[in-house]
Chains A and B, each alone.
Chain A
Amino acid sequence: MNRQTADHATLADKFNQDEARVNWHDETLWWVRAKRDRIAWSIPEWEALRDTASRIKVNALGNLHDYLLQFEEQATRNGAVVHWAADAEEHNRIVTDILKKHGVQRIVKSKSMLTEECHLNPYLAANGIEVIDTDLGERIVQLAKEPPSHIVLPCIHKKKEEIGELFHEHLGTPAGNADPKFLTAAARQHLRKEFLQADAAITGVNFAVAETGEMVVCTNEGNADMGAHLATVHIACMGIEKIIPERKHLGVFLRLLARSATGQPITTYSSHFRQPRAGQELHIVLVDNGRSRQLGREDFRNSLKCIRCGACMNTCPVYRRSGGHSYHTAVAGPIGAILAPNLDMKDYADLPFASTLCGSCSNVCPVKIDIHQQLYKWRQVLVKEGHTTAAKTASMKIMSGVLSAPRTYKTAGKMGRWVMRAFPGMVNNRMNPWYKQREMPAPPAQSFSQWYEKNKKSS
């Protein structure tokens, strides 16, 4: 899904061809944001909780080396096997090797954005192992051969009629039935069979506790548990930033996570996996894949505090009107736009610019990541590293030249309002992106400074 040539603006433009659909997408996600607001307001200590969560995460990042070792030691003592993967490729290889060792050909997987980031599914498929995604939304996009468009609501871009068609084609439900209740019941039946047959289950990890070596996985559907408690092999894949210091800190994060994500007080299931059950193997794969590098970027390390609630996406006016796929990366939206350039500056140079820097994201964030400030800073880094166009640099240099010299500025202004030329093609024709759907401001007879010159004595 990455390595594509179209940038966010182009993909967003395509998304906006169907305005009714944009309205629907926007309103659906705004409704989630509104639910989040209502439940946040029911907690008078909400801002103190956010602050506490942020400080715990900052502590965790500052002691990450020791916490990782502590976690490894505890998890091993608990009977888990801990693996370390430097990058996506190594992560995929480790998972494949475990599965091959057990002769597994079909696995069930619950939601893990990390495995999306690593493109695990195609890797396993190439190795002859079939993956059944078991989160309903993920199963839907998997059947549609699409990536998730949202980290919490993977098929938020799909209408129920489209899902009905997919189910008709793949699960044999009656044509034309698009009732969410009916479709969910059909998926329950279909996936139950998969749970009962699977020899191995892969889950993500929401929180890993250094103190106890346990992992907490949160779902509403119960799919992580159905997979993990039935399979003889459980593989939990996690980024190294998922570590939190102590068990009691879970209280803070579990209070914030679901409220921020969907406006519910907690997910239906918050499962604490510590030891494999009798006869089961538990593998934990700790993945770096650029995280230790991001940790070293002073301006951007706080992005690693993210608990993947998706609140920044729901609130983002750009995300709501461009859709997750426009971000062409596993984690879309504002948080994705500050994470992705760390993975590949060239491929994701467009993302930090897919924002008005309105700042709503930073203020819904339950761990207080300064997302919009990082977007601004990424822009500076990307330009400095050369991930910009020569034309843009040239126009910025002209603008800078005009604006640094008052006389040139005034002359240029008199010559017909320089701004019209400083903005790319800013004239009244259809080639001008401003004018396509907006009128230009009418240039006044005189500028303010000219007026001031004439009137200052009398005023």
Chain B
Amino acid sequence: MSSREKILAAVKQNQPEASALPALTGLSGNMPGTLEAYRKVLEALGGTLFEIENETAIPALLAEHYPHLQRIITATGPERTWINEDPHLLEDVDMAVVPGQWGVAENGAIWLTEQEVGARVLPFICQHLAIVLPRERILPTMHEAYDKIGAPQTGFGVFIAGPSKTADIEQSLVLGAHGAKSLVVFITGKSY
């Protein structure tokens, strides 16, 4: 008998009686899905948020706040030759600007997928990361996020909440472990 059969047989014999799955209702509490709630959490995580009308405002803001960037990649930009290149070549990217799908107010996370990001490693290997998210795409909690995301459409997706960090040395929080050292979120759309 192969290990596969052995394991499956043992599991089948030993597993307890099946029980029903709980409904996932009433779990979102009173979390507001607002920009203000989102901003508060993101900033606590060490992220920065700018409200802009549309993406044309991004280059000027980047130039102002990140004056020393050499290589900037905009995932939705016209020059996307890098998508088909070896991902290792993205090692010198200073700033990647990528589109986000959904933002989650309760934890500051933004859902990105491979499809829009272009190369899976891009939001991790870049020194700094910018995510662009339409204002109306902020949801209260992870439950609403998974409802909206639905079934997977791409090979890879990720929630990113703030810059890469570690507290492994004496619980001292340090931003910039292996991934992006900073995260800026551009919220697009008109404020009311």
User: Measuring CB to CB, which residues of chain A are less than 8 angstroms from any residue of chain B?
Assistant: 28, 31-32, 43-45, 48-49, 51-52, 55-56, 58-59, 61-65, 68-69, 78, 84-86, 90, 134-137, 140, 153-156, 159-160, 163, 180-181, 183-185, 187-188, 191-192, 195-196, 212, 214, 220-223, 225-226, 229-230, 240, 245-252, 254-255, 262, 264-277, 286, 288, 292-293, 295-296, 298, 301
Query: Which one, B18-26, B56-64, B70-78, is touching chain A?
Result: B18-26
A248–B148 CA distance with the chains assembled, in angstroms: 10
A183–B166 CA distance with the chains assembled, in angstroms: 11
Q: List 30 A-B contacts (CB under 8 A).
A: A44-B30, A48-B26, A49-B27, A61-B15, A62-B18, A62-B19, A65-B11, A85-B3, A192-B91, A196-B91, A214-B152, A222-B177, A225-B124, A230-B88, A247-B152, A251-B146, A255-B142, A264-B45, A266-B107, A268-B163, A269-B164, A271-B158, A272-B156, A273-B155, A274-B154, A274-B157, A275-B155, A277-B120, A277-B156, A296-B14
Q: Given the interface contacts A84-B4, A222-B179, does A52 sit within 8 Å of B174 by beta carbon?
A: no
B109, B155, B163, B179: which contacts A266 (Cβ < 8 A)? B109
Q: Let me know if A55 and B19 touch, CB within 8 A.
A: yes
B131 within 8 A of A: no
Q: Let me know if B158 and A266 touch, CB within 8 A.
A: no
Identify which of residues 123-154 in chain B touch chain A, using a CB-to-CB cut-off of 8 Å. Answer: 124-125, 141-143, 145-147, 151-152, 154
Q: Name the residue on A nearest B163 (C-beta).
A: A268
Q: Fill in one digit per residue for B16-58: 1 if any A CB lies within 8 Å of its CB, else 0.
A: 1111111010111110000000000100010000000000000
Q: Name the residue on A nearest B181 (C-beta).
A: A188
A265–B162 CA distance with the chains assembled, in angstroms: 11
A184, A274, A288: which contacts B152 (Cβ < 8 A)? A274
Q: Let me know if B178 and A270 touch, CB within 8 A.
A: no
Shortest distance from the beta carbon of A79 to any chain B beta carbon, whole Å: 8
B69 within 8 A of A: no
A61–B17 CA distance with the chains assembled, in angstroms: 9
A295–B30 CA distance with the chains assembled, in angstroms: 37
A58–B18 CA distance with the chains assembled, in angstroms: 8
Q: Let me know if A265 and B174 touch, CB within 8 A.
A: no
Q: Fill in one digit per residue for B163-180: 1 if any A CB lies within 8 Å of its CB, else 0.
A: 111111111101011111
Q: Given the interface contacts A61-B16, A271-B158, does A184 sit within 8 Å of B8 by beta carbon?
A: no
Q: Let me know if A44 and B19 touch, CB within 8 A.
A: no
Shortest distance from the beta carbon of A169 to any chain B beta carbon, whole Å: 16
Q: Name the residue on A nearest B6 (C-beta).
A: A86
Q: Given the interface contacts A180-B174, A229-B124, A274-B156, does A240 sit within 8 Å of B19 by beta carbon?
A: no
Given A86-B3, A196-B91, 5 further pairs, Cβ under 8 A: A59-B18, A221-B177, A229-B119, A250-B142, A269-B124
- Interchain Cβ contacts within 8 Å, total number: 255
A84–B5 CA distance with the chains assembled, in angstroms: 9
Q: Let me know if B107 and A265 touch, CB within 8 A.
A: yes
Q: Given the interface contacts A28-B171, A55-B21, A64-B15, does A45 sit within 8 Å of B156 by beta carbon?
A: no
Shortest distance from the beta carbon of A320 to any chain B beta carbon, whole Å: 13
Q: Let me know if A220 and B26 touch, CB within 8 A.
A: no
Which A residues touch B161, using CB under 8 A? 265-270
Q: Name the residue on A nearest B41 (C-beta).
A: A265
A64–B14 CA distance with the chains assembled, in angstroms: 10
Q: Let me know if A251 and B145 touch, CB within 8 A.
A: yes
Q: Given the interface contacts A68-B8, A266-B109, does A225 sit within 8 Å of B21 by beta carbon?
A: no
Q: Which 8 residue pairs are nearest across A and B when measured between Cβ atoms?
A: A222-B179, A296-B14, A275-B155, A221-B177, A265-B107, A137-B168, A229-B121, A292-B10
Q: Name the residue on B nearest A59 (C-beta).
A: B21
Which A residues touch B27, using CB under 8 A? 45, 48-49, 52, 252
B191 within 8 A of A: no
Q: Let me know if B11 and A292 touch, CB within 8 A.
A: yes
Q: Fill in one digit per residue for B105-117: 1 if any A CB lies within 8 Å of its CB, else 0.
A: 0111100001000
A191–B14 CA distance with the chains assembled, in angstroms: 43
Shortest distance from the beta carbon of B44 to any chain A beta carbon, whole Å: 8
Shortest distance from the beta carbon of B126 to any chain A beta carbon, whole Å: 11
Q: Let me know if B142 and A254 touch, CB within 8 A.
A: yes
Which A residues touch B162, using CB under 8 A? 268
Q: Let me know if B146 and A248 touch, CB within 8 A.
A: yes
Q: Let me know if A226 and B124 touch, CB within 8 A.
A: yes
A187, A251, A264, A268: which contacts B164 (Cβ < 8 A)? A268
Q: Let me know if A268 and B14 touch, CB within 8 A.
A: no
Q: Let me know if A183 and B169 touch, CB within 8 A.
A: yes
B12 within 8 A of A: yes
Q: Let me know if B13 and A296 touch, CB within 8 A.
A: yes
Which A residues touch B158, using CB under 8 A? 225, 269-272
Q: Given the interface contacts A230-B88, A266-B108, A275-B156, does A65 sit within 8 Å of B121 by beta carbon?
A: no
Q: Let me know if B178 and A45 touch, CB within 8 A.
A: no
Which A residues touch B24, using CB under 8 A? 52, 248-249, 251-252
Shortest distance from the beta carbon of B163 to any chain A beta carbon, whole Å: 7
A185–B145 CA distance with the chains assembled, in angstroms: 34
Which A residues touch B29, using CB under 8 A? 43-45
A220–B170 CA distance with the chains assembled, in angstroms: 16
Q: Name the residue on B nearest A246 (C-beta).
A: B21
Which B residues touch A254, using CB under 8 A? 142, 159
Which A residues touch B4, using CB under 8 A? 84
A298–B17 CA distance with the chains assembled, in angstroms: 11
